[in-house]
Chain A
Amino acid sequence: MSGSRTKARATELEPVPWVNAPSERRVRAERRVGLERRAADRRGARRRDDEAAAVAERRSGERRAGARRVAEGAPSAAQAPGFVERRVLVLATLLLLLYGLVMAYSASTAQAYFTYGSASYLLLRQLIFAFIGVGAMVVLARVDYAVWRRFAGPFYAAAGALCVLALVPGIGMEIRGARRWLDVAGQSLQPSEIAKLAVVCFLAATIARVPRTLGTAGGFVRLVVLGVFPFAIVVGLLQKDLGTTLVLCVGAVAVLIAGGARWRHLVALGLAGPLLVGALILAEPYRMERIVAFIDPWAYAQTSGFQATQSLLSIASGRVFGVGLGNSVQKFGYLPDQTTDMITAIIGEELGLVGLLVLIGLYVFLAWSAYRVALACREPFGKLLAVGITSLIVGQAFINIGAALSVVPLTGVPLPLVSLGGTSLVLVLAGIGILLNIATNRRSHIVVSTRRSDGPARRGGDRRAPVAGAGRRG
């Protein structure tokens, strides 16, 4: 316990430093102290483990140790840090995955049958990817997320390289006039999906390392220009993948917000957004049609508003309870991209409003528990990474469902965990694996546990408040 006290003192002296950035001197000092603190963290952790019971020592998975540590001070194991979040997150993820497999099967049968001669061809493919993805999730849930901070830079560079590679004729696959895919052992791989994670990871790592710079205009601009612009240009302008760019921006902006960027900088960035959109429209005039078609899809029902109106028709045909699982008619060629970008519309048609609300409800659960992971995490990088990954998934889900309902313009992004598509599914599950690790990694709860052990010594009444603040209230 003495080690813990040492740690706690350090924390008391130096407030967790990654939100406000008063001065450069302070930043440097804190960075120094921060490094010391991290060292102390490691020492403290080791010491606590030494002090733990022999039984616990023998079973010392990192996760178990964390849970036990909390159990010491908390009334029940259910209140172990990250326990509830992990449960809900895993549940929501698996339910969405299952939902997705069922719906992707239903939506893909016709296409699979007429194209590949077997109604279950695309389902089997998706099942394989689901296994790979769940495997990735399980593995990553056990990999200390600190790895992502250490390799954020290389990861970022590699993702960028892959995105550029996809543009190179001969290496990148061209599908429907767009070069977004790489051919990896006969499977198409979409590097922009990796890029989303890489950008979020890079931003989180940079902000966590140099927290105060985000508070300055120069630091903010540097971060945006370095972290977001390259991919916005490669993915958005060159790959013409507006949807993925949008999702990437949502994730990046979420990290910036949570990382403590000044509102006025964010507002300025928000104002720059329309300019960017204007530039994109100038680059590809068809996007103007998309936007006009978004405002009044029925006026362009046969041209640029086709997909939007067909989506609305699908959902409307489903009414409240849907036409029944597998009974969609729109999937027989009326609704383009019925297995990917438009899977929501098929859900609406087959399972009706009820199916849509269940879908949305599952995402709300996912969002709630995933943001709770971020809230519960006391460590800046983990917190920001959790916010970023969560926002990527949630933002993409919203853009997809919103597009199907004509709430947001159609940009063409898959519905995370649900749509057919290998890269997307594996990477979303991998992202959730990282979230799970953040939820239970002891690194995330060091502040909490020290404070709790410190609490009773000061005053009994405040005993559980920090725990609640970290775990339950979040």
Chain B
Amino acid sequence: MKSRAGGRRAAARSGAKRRSGRRPVARGDGRIRLLRVLAVVAFLLVGGRAIALASSAGDLTSIAAGQQQSTHTLPAHRGAIYDRDGKELAVGEQRETVYATPYLVDDPYEVAGDLCRVLKIRSRPEQRRIVEELSDKGSGFCFIARKVDPARAARAVKLDIPGVGSYAEEKRVYPLKGVAAQVIGYAGIDNVGLAGVEKQYEATLRGGDGSETVVRDTEGRTIRVLETKKSAAGSSLRLTIDADIQYEAEQVLRRTVTGFAAKAGMAVVLDPRTGEVLAMANYPLVEDNVYGAEPAYERNRPVTDAYEPGSIFKAVTISGALSDGLTTPRTKYHLAPTIKVADREIHEAHARGSVTYTTRDILVHSSNVGAVTLGLDMGKTRLLKWVDKFGFGKPTGIDFPGEVAGIVPREWSGSTIGNLPLGQGIAVTPLQMAVAFGVLANRGMWVQPHLTAQIDDDVLPRAKRRRVVTAKVARQMLSMLTDAVDEGTGTEARIAGYKVAGKTGTAQKPLADGSGYSKYAYVASFVGVMPADHPKLVVLVSIDEPHPIWGGVVAAPAVRQIAAFALTHLEIAP
């Protein structure tokens, strides 16, 4: 090795001598050339790597896009809900939601303190929640405050805390502060209808959410918008509800329920000709649309709850008997003080001696014995036929979620024939009852009730209708029911200048254990049709457990007050 190297050196030396010293210089140059080649090879290597990377970038590009881009929904404007005159019942209001990015927050206490001060978050648990969520370093998102005033949100964003931002959200507000709350229902924090009309027409109101794909920096700031899919605003609804009548009905219920120490009350105002529900009131009210306090009373009970109607139902029995030609308004019946059916003895509400009543008298004085007598004449089949024809036992099909069918007994015991004609042993909804009276008010035609008049610009088609009784029977019934108001049980419902037809009902509430009826708990009802000779309104009021119990005393004045207001408000001539 050493000798060989030495030899080479010697050769180099002699070569150098021979050729003017070029050899050693050339050898040094050879090494520099080698370095130069190395440099070029190194750059070729990285160049090749760059080419390889560019030609197989697919996966990496999508990973890059995944970390840089985010797609968020652009919530659609939720359609407003108006009453029949265009008053706003439910509208979307522009708000801002403030959020934070916990892993970008260094000092959760300080940041939470600043944000709570600016956003005026004063509730201790809420402040604690914010600190807790900000302390979670693994988290990339948390809400600070949802749907706050845009100006306030802007102040929070202006604090310039890394990762704190806001986005627009719509908050559902109910300008009438609880009027028709149970009918309208509500939309939750995510603007999804959770009850009432809001739920029923969710798809219509909601519209189509848009989306926006943006490129963000690591602090969540939008650098540019890649793609925007515009949201399609939801359709607005115009209800058949008249906010003024609704308000009046609710106030009348309030007075009635408190005045008679009752538990609750319901009212339905219906236009019998069209099936339009003008008002559907519940008491207790849901003040300011704040839900969750008393879930039992947050339902729209005229649709969702069935009850035993009591004497009001006699109108159905008698309409059936008239239609089947089993009786006429003038047909006379000799009635004992009581009547025994199977194991049960039926009494009158107010004890009396034996009397001779026409069918008209039976209705006017609401005779239990008389109604049972007529029921016995009709028999099970006929009675059930008319129960069905008037639409009991099945939902009316109103555009409202959670409507119940009510209960119509199909398996009869011996005493059923003594119950049903009086409106016992059958469960109906107040709406079904109001619609049944609508049949009588609308010359025998049943019209499907509904709450919506118009979606955006589309006026909804005429409601479904079918004949139940002849116009003659309807006229006879109204005539008899007018007498009931003028001289019978419903005198409290008289309205000066108007002819009012109506029927009282004072129903014992069935006991919870199903063993019979309560001796103390009653439901007092009254249905009125007005004006009786050209009916434009059906008004039903039903008061739960009032004191006194009588429909004529408790419910009839309430109907009068509501109807009087409605007639004036709607400018209906006597």
- Taking a contact as CB atoms closer than 8 A, the residue among A22, A259, A334, A405 that contacts B49 in the complex is A405
Cβ–Cβ contact A401 & B46, under 8 A: yes
Cβ–Cβ contact B63 & A332, under 8 A: no
A332-B217 contact, Cβ under 8 Å, with A312-B60, A398-B43, A405-B53: yes
- The residue in A316, A391, A394, A469 that gathers the most chain B C-beta atoms within 10 A of its C-beta is A316
- Taking a contact as CB atoms closer than 8 A, the residue among A15, A316, A329 that contacts B215 in the complex is A329
Which residues does chain B contribute within 8 Å of A378, judged by CB atoms?
Answer: 25
Interface residues of A in 376-416 (CB under 8 A from B): 378, 383, 387, 391, 394, 397-398, 401-402, 405-407
Q: How distant is the Cα of A168 from the Cα of B31 in the complex, in angstroms? A: 40
In the complex, which residue of chain B has the Cβ closest to the Cβ of A363? Answer: B43
Q: How distant is the Cα of A317 from the Cα of B57 in the complex, in angstroms? A: 7
Cβ–Cβ contact A316 & B60, under 8 A: yes
A315 within 8 Å of B (CB atoms): yes
A15-B60 contact, Cβ under 8 Å, with A257-B31, A316-B53, A375-B29: no
Cβ–Cβ contact B26 & A469, under 8 A: yes
Interface residues of A in 326-373 (CB under 8 A from B): 329-330, 332-334, 348, 352-353, 356-357, 360, 363-364, 367-368, 371
Q: How distant is the Cα of A378 from the Cα of B25 in the complex, in angstroms? A: 8
Over the window 240-263 of chain A, the binary record of Cβ atoms lying under 8 Å from chain B Cβ atoms (1 yes, 0 no) is: 000000000000001001111000
- Nearest CB in chain A: distance from B298 CB, A: 49
Which residues does chain A contribute within 8 Å of B216, judged by CB atoms?
Answer: 332
Q: How distant is the Cα of A316 from the Cα of B20 in the complex, in angstroms? A: 55
Interface residues of A in 292-313 (CB under 8 A from B): 312-313
Cβ–Cβ contact A316 & B46, under 8 A: no
Q: How distant is the Cα of A110 from the Cα of B31 in the complex, in angstroms? A: 45
Cβ–Cβ contact A319 & B57, under 8 A: yes
Which residues does chain B contribute within 8 Å of A353, judged by CB atoms?
Answer: 50-51, 53-54
Over the window 57-81 of chain B, the binary record of Cβ atoms lying under 8 Å from chain A Cβ atoms (1 yes, 0 no) is: 1001101110110000000000000
A433 within 8 Å of B (CB atoms): no
Summarize A's interface: helix, strand, loop or mixed: helix
Which residues does chain B contribute within 8 Å of A120, judged by CB atoms?
Answer: none
Spell out B's residues near A (CB within 8 Å).
9-10, 12-13, 16-17, 20-29, 31-36, 39-40, 42-43, 45-47, 49-51, 53-54, 57, 60-61, 63-65, 67-68, 215-219, 221, 223
- Taking a contact as CB atoms closer than 8 A, the residue among B9, B20, B50, B67 that contacts A405 in the complex is B50
Cβ–Cβ contact B53 & A257, under 8 A: no
Which residues does chain A contribute within 8 Å of B29, judged by CB atoms?
Answer: 375, 469, 474
- Nearest CB in chain B: distance from A327 CB, A: 8
Cβ–Cβ contact B13 & A348, under 8 A: no
Cβ–Cβ contact B40 & A367, under 8 A: yes
Which residues does chain A contribute within 8 Å of B51, judged by CB atoms?
Answer: 353, 357
In the complex, which residue of chain B has the Cβ closest to the Cβ of A21? Answer: B9
A315-B68 contact, Cβ under 8 Å, with A334-B218, A363-B43: no
Cβ–Cβ contact A313 & B31, under 8 A: no
Q: How distant is the Cα of A429 from the Cα of B39 in the complex, in angstroms? A: 19
Cβ–Cβ contact B46 & A317, under 8 A: no
- The residue in B21, B31, B35 that gathers the most chain A C-beta atoms within 10 A of its C-beta is B35
Given contacts A257-B35, A329-B217, A405-B49, could you give 7 more A-B pairs where the C-beta distance is less than 8 Å? A15-B24, A19-B25, A317-B60, A320-B54, A334-B67, A348-B50, A402-B49
A371-B39 contact, Cβ under 8 Å, with A313-B63, A405-B53: yes
Spell out A's residues near B (CB within 8 Å).
11-12, 14-20, 22, 110, 254, 257-260, 312-320, 329-330, 332-334, 348, 352-353, 356-357, 360, 363-364, 367-368, 371, 374-375, 378, 383, 387, 391, 394, 397-398, 401-402, 405-407, 447, 451, 466, 469, 474
Cβ–Cβ contact B25 & A407, under 8 A: no
In the complex, which residue of chain B has the Cβ closest to the Cβ of A399? Answer: B42
In the complex, which residue of chain A has the Cβ closest to the Cβ of B59? Answer: A316
Which residues does chain A contribute within 8 Å of B64, judged by CB atoms?
Answer: 313-314, 316-317, 329-330
In the complex, which residue of chain A has the Cβ closest to the Cβ of B21? Answer: A15
Q: How distant is the Cα of A466 from the Cα of B19 in the complex, in angstroms? A: 11
Which residues does chain B contribute within 8 Å of A394, judged by CB atoms?
Answer: 39, 42
Q: How distant is the Cα of A47 from the Cα of B43 in the complex, in angstroms? A: 45
Which residues does chain B contribute within 8 Å of A314, judged by CB atoms?
Answer: 64
The number of A-B residue pairs with CB atoms under 8 Å apart is 162
Cβ–Cβ contact B32 & A316, under 8 A: no
Which residues does chain B contribute within 8 Å of A259, judged by CB atoms?
Answer: 28
Which residues does chain B contribute within 8 Å of A332, judged by CB atoms?
Answer: 216-218, 221, 223
Cβ–Cβ contact A374 & B32, under 8 A: yes
- Nearest CB in chain B: distance from A29 CB, A: 13
- Nearest CB in chain A: distance from B417 CB, A: 80
- Taking a contact as CB atoms closer than 8 A, the residue among A20, A258, A360, A383 that contacts B12 in the complex is A20
Q: How distant is the Cα of A209 from the Cα of B17 in the complex, in angstroms? A: 22
Between-chain CB contacts (< 8 Å), 24 pairs: A11-B20, A12-B20, A19-B25, A254-B35, A258-B31, A313-B64, A315-B54, A316-B64, A317-B65, A319-B61, A329-B223, A330-B64, A332-B216, A332-B221, A333-B219, A334-B217, A353-B54, A367-B43, A374-B32, A375-B29, A378-B25, A397-B43, A447-B21, A474-B32
A360-B68 contact, Cβ under 8 Å, with A258-B31, A398-B42: no
Q: How distant is the Cα of A466 from the Cα of B23 in the complex, in angstroms? A: 12
- Taking a contact as CB atoms closer than 8 A, the residue among A375, A405, A451, A469 that contacts B46 in the complex is A405
Q: How distant is the Cα of A258 from the Cα of B30 in the complex, in angstroms? A: 8
Cβ–Cβ contact B36 & A14, under 8 A: no
Cβ–Cβ contact B217 & A110, under 8 A: yes
Cβ–Cβ contact A258 & B28, under 8 A: yes
Q: How distant is the Cα of A260 from the Cα of B57 in the complex, in angstroms? A: 44
Q: How distant is the Cα of A364 from the Cα of B64 in the complex, in angstroms? A: 30
Q: How distant is the Cα of A330 from the Cα of B64 in the complex, in angstroms? A: 8
A371-B61 contact, Cβ under 8 Å, with A16-B24, A332-B218, A333-B218: no
- Nearest CB in chain A: distance from B549 CB, A: 74
- Nearest CB in chain A: distance from B48 CB, A: 9
In the complex, which residue of chain B has the Cβ closest to the Cβ of A318? Answer: B54
Which residues does chain A contribute within 8 Å of B36, judged by CB atoms?
Answer: 367-368, 371, 375
Cβ–Cβ contact A16 & B25, under 8 A: yes
A398-B218 contact, Cβ under 8 Å, with A257-B31, A374-B32: no
Which residues does chain B contribute within 8 Å of A356, judged by CB atoms?
Answer: 47, 50
Which residues does chain B contribute within 8 Å of A398, judged by CB atoms?
Answer: 39, 42-43, 46
Cβ–Cβ contact A16 & B46, under 8 A: no
Which residues does chain B contribute within 8 Å of A357, judged by CB atoms?
Answer: 47, 50-51
Which residues does chain A contribute within 8 Å of B39, judged by CB atoms?
Answer: 364, 367, 371, 391, 394, 398
Q: How distant is the Cα of A387 from the Cα of B31 in the complex, in angstroms? A: 10
- The residue in B16, B29, B43 that gathers the most chain A C-beta atoms within 10 A of its C-beta is B43
Q: How distant is the Cα of A295 from the Cα of B500 in the complex, in angstroms? A: 94
- Nearest CB in chain A: distance from B224 CB, A: 8
Q: How distant is the Cα of A363 from the Cα of B33 in the complex, in angstroms? A: 16
Cβ–Cβ contact B20 & A352, under 8 A: no
- Nearest CB in chain A: distance from B43 CB, A: 5
Which residues does chain A contribute within 8 Å of B65, judged by CB atoms?
Answer: 317
- Nearest CB in chain B: distance from A9 CB, A: 10
Cβ–Cβ contact B54 & A316, under 8 A: yes
Which residues does chain A contribute within 8 Å of B24, judged by CB atoms?
Answer: 15-20
Cβ–Cβ contact A22 & B13, under 8 A: yes
Cβ–Cβ contact B46 & A407, under 8 A: yes
A375-B33 contact, Cβ under 8 Å, with A15-B23, A398-B43: yes
In the complex, which residue of chain B has the Cβ closest to the Cβ of A256? Answer: B31
Q: How distant is the Cα of A352 from the Cα of B50 in the complex, in angstroms? A: 9
The 10 closest A-B pairs by CB, nearest first: A333-B218, A332-B217, A316-B60, A15-B16, A15-B21, A316-B57, A353-B54, A371-B36, A313-B64, A19-B24
Q: How distant is the Cα of A474 from the Cα of B26 in the complex, in angstroms? A: 10
Q: How distant is the Cα of A242 from the Cα of B49 in the complex, in angstroms? A: 23
- Nearest CB in chain A: distance from B480 CB, A: 82
Q: How distant is the Cα of A348 from the Cα of B25 in the complex, in angstroms? A: 41
Cβ–Cβ contact A313 & B32, under 8 A: no
Which residues does chain A contribute within 8 Å of B13, judged by CB atoms?
Answer: 15, 20, 22
